[in-house]
Amino acid sequence: MKLTFDHTRRFAFLAFFFLTAGFVHADFTISGTLPSLTPGTTLRLDRVDLDNRTETSLGEITVGDNHSFEVHFDTEPGLFNLVTSRYGTIQLAVDIGQKIQVSATSGLVVRGSPDTDILNDYELFRKNSLERLVYPPRAKLNQVKDLGLPAEQLAPLAQAEVDGYAAHKRELNDFTIERASNSVALYATSLRWDGDYRLNELQALVDGFAETHPKLAITRSMQEKLRLFSLTATGATASPLSGTDLDGANYSLEDFSGKTVLVDFWASWCVPCRVENRHYPKLLEKYADQGFEVLAVNMDDSRSAWGRASQQDKITWPQISDGLALKSPMGTAYNVTALPMSFLISPEGKILGRNLRGDVLDKKLESVFSK
């Protein structure tokens, strides 16, 4: 689909057409004057799907002779990317009836969408939080990860990064609860929600959003996200898992029924995961006779990277993967949006704890097997 627009003419087109019940028709307008774009330059508007980590094009827009464009869309509210050759990708959070204007003089300016303003503030806050809490301990760990140090020396550095990321996610929850409120930008924040922190307040936000934005795809997505948090809470029944190992053998969580199993989501690029891989042999040696097992779920998108890392880390415990990395339904079922992440599961299939690592995992297993 390719359309041409200028500032004196308006064309409406149906960007999405759903035959299923429940599609909510909503309208919004995107216009702009970008002098640096030559007439005939094309822009593209994509809908962003956070659940599937995909973008779907709604069509191309050709800039008119006066460097301007104006387009009326009839599609659901949500997150969008306006893709340009000159200014890169412009992120938009769009609600019903908004008239968004894009302009550029000394810099790019987007007006007319309070939701986009919140999204931009969130992204700036997120990046600053990463720089304060996550990047410094990560840099220290990366400096020494290849020096051949024993796991005992690397573990505190790995834990510092994990703790920094946990603090980072709590800050994002704070921002969401205090700023996102009833905004479409709430959906953008859902990708990094921490289900262990202020969850009741997140639930209240989503309930309020659902009252004013019923039947939207993004509303259903956030409701499902909260539902999955309840399914991965301590005491919940662990969801099924199944996949194949590097040799094509099949494993499932059901195979470990009657045992205490640590389900560990990991990837070759996750340094704290790799450090913890050095810890597991000692735990298996100590507790295997009492029914302790590790089932690793690899989240690499490269089978060769998975294989190399497994060989380097001398992994002997069962591993599974479906090759879909962070798009894997296995990760979705356990709300895995970042690594490392692990779940300790009882012989009865109940979740005993989440993301237990290092000394914390040692103490938990000691408690479990001393009973």
**Residue 287 structural domain:** 242-369
CA 144 from centre of chain: 28
Both 58 and 176 in a single domain? no
Q: Which of 319, 314, 313 is nearest to 299 (CA)?
A: 319
21: Cβ contacts below 8 Å, ≥ 6 apart: none
pLDDT digits (tens, 9 = 90+) for 205-263: 999 999 999 999 999 999 999 999 999 999 999 999 999 999 999 999 999 999 999 99
- The stretch 170-184 carries a mean pLDDT of 96
Task: Name the pTM for this structure.
Answer: 0.86
Q: Is 359 inside any structural domain?
A: yes
Q: Is 34 inside any structural domain?
A: yes
Q: What is the CATH number of the domain that holds 311?
A: 3.40.30.10
Torsion of CA 221, 223, 224, 226, to 10 degrees: 130
Both 6 and 37 in a single domain? yes
Q: Is 254 inside any structural domain?
A: yes
Query: What confidence category does residue 169 fall into, taking pLDDT thresholds of 50, 70 and 90?
Result: very high
pLDDT digits (tens, 9 = 90+) for 281-318: 999 999 999 999 999 999 999 999 999 999 999 999 99
Q: Is 143 inside any structural domain?
A: yes
Burial degree of 175 (CB within 10 A; 0-12, 13-18, 19+): middle
Last residue of a domain, one of 231, 251, 285: 231
Both 249 and 353 in a single domain? yes
Of the candidate ranges 11-15, 109-113, 275-279, the one whose mean pLDDT is the lowest: 11-15
Overall number of domains in the chain: 3
> What percent of the chain clears pLDDT 90, i.e. is strictly above it?
78
Q: CA 27 to CA 218: how far, in whole Å?
A: 16
Q: Which of 183, 217, 332, 50 is nearest to 175 (CA)?
A: 183
Q: Is 62 inside any structural domain?
A: yes
Both 285 and 354 in a single domain? yes
- The pLDDT of residue 85: 86
Both 248 and 361 in a single domain? yes
Last residue of a domain, one of 110, 130, 162: 110
- The pLDDT of residue 327: 86
Both 260 and 351 in a single domain? yes
pLDDT digits (tens, 9 = 90+) for 74-113: 999 999 999 998 888 999 999 999 999 999 877 789 999 9
